[in-house]
Structure 1
Amino acid sequence: MEKKSPREFEYRVKSLPVTHLPSSEVLVKVHYSSLNYKDILSCQGNPAVTRRFPHTPGLDASGVVEQSNSALFKRGDRVAVFCTPMGMNYQGGLAEHICVPAEWLIRLPENMCLEEVMVYGTAGYTAALAVEAIEKHGIDKSVSKVLVTGASGGLGSIAVLLLKHLGYDVEVSVTRENGKVFLENLGVTAIVDLNASDVKTTQNLLPSRWQAVIDVAGGDVLACILKQVSENGIVVSTGLVAGTHFETNVLPFILRGISLIGINAEGTSVESRKSLLIKLASIWRSSALCDVYTKVKLAGVSCAIENFKEQNIYGRVVVDMEAK
């Protein structure tokens, strides 16, 4: 990606020598990458994500170690990178090779393939952390409903998939009409409308609707949701699509005892990442995983980015770096 002017950025596939990569501990041959919301922001030149150009985006990568100066990894190890500074102000995973610090790498469980881990990537790992928070909160699945906002996106669709696999009664909200079709194909039947009157209401509380919520929206949507969570429920905040600022009141917290927590996926430890990948490769593995992603070649990334900008992408996008 190159900066042509203060507001103009060009992204294209370009051949560069391996010596162009930053000097670090482990060289990895990349087999798969994926697209995340921050990748799109990077490609738009958002200074909160990327400030140095030219730049190779890509928060995520999976592949095989080719060279290692670290005792932690050896040639042939199958590894993945997600939820690190890679792809922001560090050369990213949309490349045939990456060279990264050893502490950024996660060795894959034996029963998880390189493509599967990229179906999750940063967005899916964040979704899994949110689901894990709900599991730890201990709500009664037999009588409780869980809401997922932005459910047709990458994070939301993985959250829906995991929650359904674990036996939760899932409701979703979406703003895109075609997103409803995508979710219906995943077996989701309860699509709710967060209507404008509720979002803008000045009431301190609204009737209880959900015991748990995974929210990617933030802003006024999050404020509205907090008023509708039932007693001792939990809201997990994972995104800011609708804004970073919201106004609320204390009544949902002191009268209904609800909890609001945030997810900082990049701040999790290597051990936490390993543990969650093991779950995703075993007891949390859903047979419907193949329905939540689209696979593109590296040459198709530019088109996928444009579709992302136009909100014509549903679920996750995995990039096959070896497909010609």
Structure 2
Amino acid sequence: MRAIVLRQDGDTAKPAIEDISESDLPEAEVTVAVEYTTVNYKDGLCMSPKGGGLVRKYPHIPGIDFAGTVEASGDVRYKPGDKVVLTGWRVGEAHWGGYAEKARVKADWLVPLPDGLTTRQAMAVGTAGFTAMLAVMALEDHGLKDMHGEVLVTGAAGGVGSVATAILANLGYDVAGVTGRPELEGYLKSLGAKRIVARDQLNETVKRPLESETWAGCIDAVGGAMLARVLGQMKYGGSVAAVGLAGGSALPATVIPFLLRGVNLLGIDSVLRPFESRQRAWKRIARDLPMDKLEDMVVEATLGDLPALCADIIKGKVRGRVVADVRA
């Protein structure tokens, strides 16, 4: 079987496509014939020379997401021929991942592919789209309705932002997408964004803890100063679902929006999400994410393309979602 293997060379790690034996795979209950994988920011970190602080043991097979068909199973929940998807659980980081033609993982980490989704579509979604759906669900669980006003999506042209924009628009929300790449306005509007907000309008901190009430909700992939600014612009009782830190992990904010406007800051974790929540999110994805919009986000790739794409995503050069056929 072919796989991208990271091996240490001195104090750095280098990726290469190698032929390895199935017997080299780690011990676990379920062996999956991988069909598709994708590229997330974490994949870029894992494929970097130092492993991004995520990879601790070499040799290593990266790839935090994959979808495919069960080949062998020692767990009654899965049988050969079942279609499955995996995201999270530190697969591709602490455990061998999906940048290979086969993977062996714990049954608890898998989710049956919902009706209406193919393995290719599941990887067009991937961790990024799964996280976007979790964020939409969290906003709705905290009272967001489509009549409440505009919903802001920061980092809108990225993987999470693209899927979040398409889902929210499909559900009837008025989406405002934030991007620092004005050339992507047409792309974002094709996904359903009603208007585009230039990144420069939001990435500067202000001294006022509260500004005009503007956003009914927000899915934020940026963090840092932009998140602090957005908190002060939320409508009364509005919620921000925080999914990323592309703009930094520090939060130069005050508690005033929480105390005077009842704003909610909701943390979204996709790695250790319990099975029931995962299953609910994947069913919502199959129902609420328009597949034609998803297809518009896709960049096709092969196993051999992944090292370069992982380097590009760290530089912010990847738009939308990558779908890599590991068999090609």
Match of 1:15 in 2: 19
Partners of 2:185 and 2:13 lie apart in 1 by 33
**Residue 63 of structure 1: which of 60, 64, 68 is its match?**
68
Q: Which stretch of the first structure deviates more once superposed, 62-71 or 174-183?
A: 174-183
Deviates more, 1:304-313 or 1:20-29: 304-313
- Pairing 1:266–2:292 present: no
Give the match for residue 80 of structure 1: 85
Is 2:41 aligned against 1:37?
yes
The answer for the alignment partner of 1:175 in structure 2 is: 180
Which stretch has the larger CA shift, 244-253 or 47-56? 47-56
Residue 153 (structure 1) shift? 0.6
Counterpart residue number, 2:10 = 5
SS in 2 for 1:163: helix
- Over the residues paired in the alignment, what is the CA RMSD in angstroms? 1.7
**Runs of at least 5 residues in structure 2 that lack an aligned partner in the other structure:** 1-5
Deviation for aligned residue 1:24:
1.0
Give 1:1-324 correspondences, 5 Å limit: 1-6=6-11, 8-44=12-48, 45-195=50-200, 199-323=204-328
Q: Distance in 1 between matches of 2:34 and 2:183?
A: 33
Deviations 1:285-311, CA, capped at 9 Å, x for gaps: 443111112121112112222332332
Separation (CA, whole Å) in 2 of partners of 1:209 and 1:142: 13
The question of whether the paired residues in 1 share the 8 Å contact of 2:166 and 2:289 is answered with: no
Structure 1 length as normaliser, TM-score?
0.94
User: How far apart in 2 are the matches of 1:165 and 1:100?
Assistant: 34
Q: Tell me how far apart the structure 2 counterparts of residues 130 and 283 of structure 1 sit (CA, whole Å).
A: 13
Write the deviation string for residues 99-154 of structure 1: whole angstroms up to 9, x where unpaired.
00111111112321111111111111111000011122223313410000001111
> CA separation in 2, counterparts of 1:180 and 1:206?
26
What's the TM-score once normalised by structure 2's chain length? Answer: 0.93
Aligned length: 322
Q: CA 1:197–1:146 in structure 2 vs 1: closer, same or farther (change >3 Å)? A: closer
Pair 197,154 (structure 1): closer, same or farther in 2 beyond 3 Å: closer
In 1: Cα distance, 2:229 partner to 2:10 partner: 40
Query: Deviation of residue 194 (structure 1)?
Result: 4.3
Q: Relative to structure 1, is the Cα distance of residues 57 and 293 closer, same or farther in structure 2, using a 3 angstrom cutoff? A: same
CA contact 2:205–2:228 (8 Å) conserved in 1: no
* Contact 1:78 1:108 (8 Å CA) reproduced: yes
